Amino acid sequence: MPPIPQPSAADSATLVRVRGLHFSRGTRKIYDGVDVDIPRGKVTAILGPSGTGKTTLLRIIGGQWRPETGAVEFDGINVHRLGRSELYALRKRMGMLFQNGALLTDLSVYENIAFPLREHTRLPENAIRDIVLMKLEAVGLRGARDLYPEELSGGMSRRVALARAIALDPEMVMYDEPFTGQDPISMGVLMRLIRSLNQSLGITSVIVSHDVDEVLSIADQAYVIANGQVLARGTPDEIRASPLEYVQQFLQGRPDGPVAFHYKARSLRDDLLGSA
């Protein structure tokens, strides 16, 4: 088993540091010189309209995708300079809650959470059992350990996925649209869990979302990203007070503004008359 990479510099208040990030998909520019700091032990929200590259940022931080230029450091370690085995080891320090939960459908709730422990550790089964039950207790689903994913509600599935994400006691958990498709009760439960786990376990949380009110209610700091740039950053109150019209349009959900309601096209008259 390769050693887990250790930081090359002294610990600081910042766990993840992104500098000068440039990234494109085909001819489309996703990031154009972006800087982001994720403080240790805090909840950071990454906000922005759909399609602006929020999930892409998580993939770049985790080393799944490589930037064109720029640097991404996790605890002082340059993620994209690591070899495969070193990157694999570093990822054990990160947990991920996928947008759809990504539970293994042929495994029970218990087996889903035991899976990463069996894959990445040499713990005996009795120790794995204790850890699984403690993680399920943390998300309120110890009694559901024998159920299968098809027997779970959407909110329960997301909570099981969260228990699996923290199975290896990561230093950071990344949440990809955790509130999508959740009813108000399930959303409230998830919000409380994210905040309470962040505090009780001392982990760092990064939440990608376009659910403005929900995520700002539990975040310590937030970024608003669009058009390849960071448009605003700061505390939730500072984000809400941003003078930028684009940010206010997004926060308030206005249908028109800097982001136009109508996609760019020639005049309706020309289209109706069929003129070239």
Pick the more confident residue, 233 or 102.
233
Helix (H) or strand (E) run with residue 72 in it: strand 69-74
- Asked which of 37-51, 95-109, 196-210, 252-266 is least confident by mean pLDDT, the reply is 252-266
Sign of CA dihedral 99, 104, 107, 110: negative
Residues 33 and 19 sit within 8 Å (Cβ to Cβ): no
pLDDT at 256: 63
User: Rounded to a whole number, what is the distance in angstroms from the first to the last CA of the chain?
Assistant: 65
Check whether 1 has a pLDDT greater than 60.
no
Pick the more confident residue, 9 or 79.
79
- Give dist(CA 64, CA 51) in Å, integer: 18
Dump pLDDT digits (tens) for 177-225.
888 777 888 888 888 888 988 888 889 999 998 788 888 999 999 999 9
- Name the band, by pLDDT with cuts 50, 70 and 90, for residue 273: confident
Residues 45 and 221 sit within 8 Å (Cβ to Cβ): yes
pLDDT at 113: 94
Residues of the chain with pLDDT > 70, as a percent, come to 91
pLDDT at 246: 84
Structure tokens at 37: 């700091």
Mean pLDDT on 53-76: 92
Q: Residue 2 is which amino acid? A: P
Q: Cβ contacts of residue 71 below 8 Å, gap of 6+?
A: 17, 18, 19, 20, 78, 80
Task: List the one residue out of 169, 164, 170, 166 whose CA is nearest residue 113.
Answer: 164
Mean pLDDT on 71-83: 94
pLDDT at 275: 61
pLDDT at 196: 87
Q: What are the two backbone dihedrals, phi and then psi, of residue 226, each rounded to the nearest 5 degrees?
A: -165, 155
Sign of CA dihedral 229, 232, 236, 242: negative
Structure tokens at 79: 């993620």
pTM of the predicted structure, to 2 decimals: 0.83
- Give dist(CA 185, CA 178) in Å, integer: 14
Mean pLDDT on 146-174: 91
- Name the band, by pLDDT with cuts 50, 70 and 90, for residue 23: very high
- Name the band, by pLDDT with cuts 50, 70 and 90, for residue 9: very low
Residues 176 and 182 sit within 8 Å (Cβ to Cβ): no
Check whether 59 has a pLDDT greater than 60.
yes
- Give dist(CA 265, CA 97) in Å, integer: 39
Dump pLDDT digits (tens) for 210-268.
788 888 999 999 999 988 899 999 999 999 998 988 888 888 877 666 665 556 777 77
pLDDT at 262: 55
DSSP letters spanning 161-193:
HHHHHTTT--SEEEEESTTTT--HHHHHHHHHH
Q: Please, what are the domains in the chain?
A: 14-242 (3.40.50.300)
Residues 203 and 171 sit within 8 Å (Cβ to Cβ): yes
pLDDT at 276: 57
Residues 30 and 53 sit within 8 Å (Cβ to Cβ): yes
Pick the more confident residue, 88 or 275.
88
Residue 1, CA distances (Å) to 89, 120, 151, 219 in order: 8, 9, 36, 36
What residues does 209 pair with on adjacent strands?
Answer: 47
Mean pLDDT on 81-109: 88
Residue 260, CA distances (Å) to 129, 147, 223 in order: 54, 46, 22
Pick the more confident residue, 67 or 260.
67
- Name the band, by pLDDT with cuts 50, 70 and 90, for residue 8: very low
